[in-house]
Amino acid sequence: MNRTASYSTNHSRRYILVVDSKTTDLFTCAMLLQRFSYRVCTANTSVQALEMVSVAIPAIVIADLYLPVMSGIDLNSLLKQDPRTASIPIIILRPSDDEAAMRRCLSLKITSLPKPIQIEDLYRTVQAAIETTPRSNIRIETRLTVSVNNVPFDCIDGECASVLSEHGMYIRTREPHGRNEHVAVQVNINGRVISAEATVLYSHRYGDGPFAEPGMGLKFLQMAPEDYTFIREFIRETVMREVAP
């Protein structure tokens, strides 16, 4: 089974601009956004950011508060003055212990996030700012051995859990179960077999649906609490791998 697309397809038409003069922080934020399947461009200063915006309008700008010459708030002010860029959402990154900066952003009605960045906060804030149907839980692309109703799927042939979140998964399979059907699912994550009761939210045959591949989206209905925790940590570790110390 050839993988022809992924859940990131809708993101490919837009990009996020990240502006930070600190190389490590810039890299961390950009890599996390890429792990969330967004296209990312970067700039070190507000001047560079304005030049890039004049060429292509980003879906959102994420800027450090304390940029050289022109701060992130000054950048926001300039963007709001131009009708072409006035509607671009902006997120300001501020030191976590800088209460004055937090109050200033609040007074200006600018969304801000503390540094160091927490991946869940970044994901949810970006989702809320630019997505039509924002998600609260991070999803990752993966390839996990899975069985449904005690029937193992052929992972070698491409039938596997290809997208995972804390509360569900997408399974690529030629013979998906029907919508609203309740199923028992077992998934192997790093040698740990997790069992759950789930319901089929949607089901697609070849050429149908957003993934352009046959399969079904499942929502977990019942699972041991420690397994939810294990999945959450697995997703976090996957997103953070080689991104930050």
Cβ neighbours, 10 Å, residue 43: 22
Phi, then psi, of 56 in degrees rounded to 5:
-150, 130
Contact 146, 160 (CB under 8 A): yes
- Residue 243: the pLDDT is 83
Q: Is the dihedral of CA 194, 197, 203, 205 positive or negative?
A: positive
What is the CATH classification number for the domain harbouring 160?
2.40.10.220
227 domain residue, yes or no: yes
Per residue in 58-117, pLDDT (tens digit) is: 999 999 999 999 999 999 999 999 999 999 999 999 999 999 999 999 999 999 999 999
Number of residues that this document lists for the chain = 245
Strand order in the sheet with 182-189: 139-144, 160-165, 168-172, 215-222, 192-204, 182-189, 146-148, 151-152
Number of domains in the chain: 2
Is 0.85 surpassed by the pTM of this model? no
Question: 80, 95, 130: which is the final residue of a domain?
Answer: 130
Give the H/E segment covering residue 73: helix 72-81
Provide the mean pLDDT of the chain: 91
Q: Which one, of 238, 192, 213, 189, lies nearest residue 1 by Cα? A: 213
Query: Domain holding 108: CATH number?
Result: 3.40.50.2300
pLDDT of residue 12: 44
Asked whether residue 7 carries a pLDDT value surpassing 60, the answer given is no
At residue 229, the pLDDT reads 96
Residues 121 and 231 in one domain: no
